[in-house]
Amino acid sequence: MAQRKATARKVRTPAKMVPRSALDSPLVRTAAIAVGIVGLAALAVALAGPRRVRDELLAPMSNATWVPLTAAVTPQAERAWAETRPWRDRLSNILASINTDEVRGLLADRLSHWFDRIRP
């Protein structure tokens, strides 16, 4: 019978026993990527010039995104403002009825009484 060759087996250590580097953390990786992106953007602005970046990149992008968005939202905002008119009127009436000399005097008396109670 032929003898089998003895093979060396690797002993696997559990994952918990293997020390992990702080650089393996997802938070550190995300921070490194964010810093890299900000650095590349700063380099691009430095090479192209801030005015050129604003005029040729940011302004057209803003016009392409914000103008349609405001055109879509404006009618809804005006409708919501018109629908809440009775609530706003009611709230303004309540605040107007509270803001009188009588109520202010009563509130001042209560606050002074409260301060007298807590003052040693």
Q: Please tell me the predicted confidence (pLDDT) of residue 33.
A: 94
Q: Please tell me the predicted confidence (pLDDT) of residue 19.
A: 60
Report the chain (120 residues): mean pLDDT per 10 consecutive residues.
64 61 84 95 92 90 84 88 94 88 90 87
CB crowding 21-35: b at 16 or more within 10 Å, else e = eeeeeeeeeeeeeee
For residue 15, tell me if it sits in a domain: no
Same domain, 63 and 97: no
Structural domain total, the chain: 2
Same domain, 33 and 53: yes
Which residues 6+ apart lie within 8 Å of 37 measured at CB?
Answer: none
